[in-house]
């Protein structure tokens, strides 16, 4: 059984990137491929990732820098590697945690997506990634449970993580109530 890894590829020259990606052959088994020309991004689910094909593409276009965010099924997509391709070479330039979120079917998709992104950014501050010896990345994951909240408009999300796994999610909608406040209490 193959691991289906994912890659989001983009370049510093969106117009040229969109043009050359029309004829791009990843030279690997691709399960899914989606292009977002407006953002200048192409998404792959492949086994293995088209690393060699992107190196070749960067060698053919030496004036361009290609950047990819890659995650791997083997580690449940919890680590997102940032890789830079330039002049036929690649180097890892970053790592961030993606966290293992449980599947939830939220009725308010736009707000929940934004809140998940905000909470993920908060979790990333709790679990810093540092570069060790100028080459390797080290993730310091805070293992005890941590609960954080984020608010967007009338919605609030509360999420609890343990290590790299989100173990509990609660979503709230603001409820407006109307009550009277007593401001004078004088008998007649």
Q: What is the pLDDT of residue 23?
A: 86
Rounded to the nearest angstrom, the gap between the alpha carbon of residue 86 and the centroid of all alpha carbons in its chain is: 23
C-alpha–C-alpha distance, residues 49 and 66, integer Å: 15
Which pLDDT belongs to residue 1?
A: 45
Distance CA 161, CA 79 (A): 15
- pLDDT at position 2, please? 57
Considering the entire predicted model, what is its pTM?
Answer: 0.78
Low-confidence stretches of the chain (pLDDT beneath 50): 1
Q: Which long-range contacts (CB under 8 A, 24 or more apart) does 162-171 make?
A: 164/78, 164/97, 164/99, 164/100, 164/127, 165/99, 165/100, 166/99, 166/100, 166/101, 166/102, 167/102, 169/101, 169/102, 169/104, 171/106, 171/108, 171/112, 171/115
Say which residues have a Cβ less than 8 Å from residue 63's Cβ, sequence separation at least 6. 13
Q: Report the DSSP beta bridge partners of residue 129.
A: 139
Domains along the chain with CATH numbers: 1-98 (3.30.70), 100-175 (no CATH)
Question: What pLDDT sits at residue 136?
Answer: 86
pLDDT of residue 84: 96
């Amino acid at each position: 059984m193959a691991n289906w890894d994912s890659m989001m590829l983009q370049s510093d020259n969106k117009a040229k990137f969109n043009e050359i990606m029309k004829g791009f052959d990843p030279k690997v088994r691709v399960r899914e491929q989606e292009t977002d020309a407006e953002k200048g991004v192409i998404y792959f689910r492949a086994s293995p990732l088209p690393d060699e094909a992107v190196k070749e593409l960067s060698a053919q276009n030496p004036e361009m820098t290609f950047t990819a965010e890659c995650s791997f099924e083997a580690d449940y997509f919890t680590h997102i590697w940032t890789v830079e391709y330039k002049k036929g070479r690649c180097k890892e330039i970053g790592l961030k945690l993606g966290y293992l979120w449980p599947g939830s079917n939220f009725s308010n998709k736009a707000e929940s997506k934004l809140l998940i992104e905000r909470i993920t950014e908060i979790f990333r501050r709790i679990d810093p990634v540092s570069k060790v010896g100028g080459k390797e990345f080290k993730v310091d994951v805070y293992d005890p449970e941590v609960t954080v909240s984020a608010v967007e408009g009338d919605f609030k999300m509360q999420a609890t993580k343990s290590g790299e796994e989100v173990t509990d999610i609660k979503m709230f909608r603001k409820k407006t109530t109307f009550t009277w406040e007593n401001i004078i209490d004088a008998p007649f």
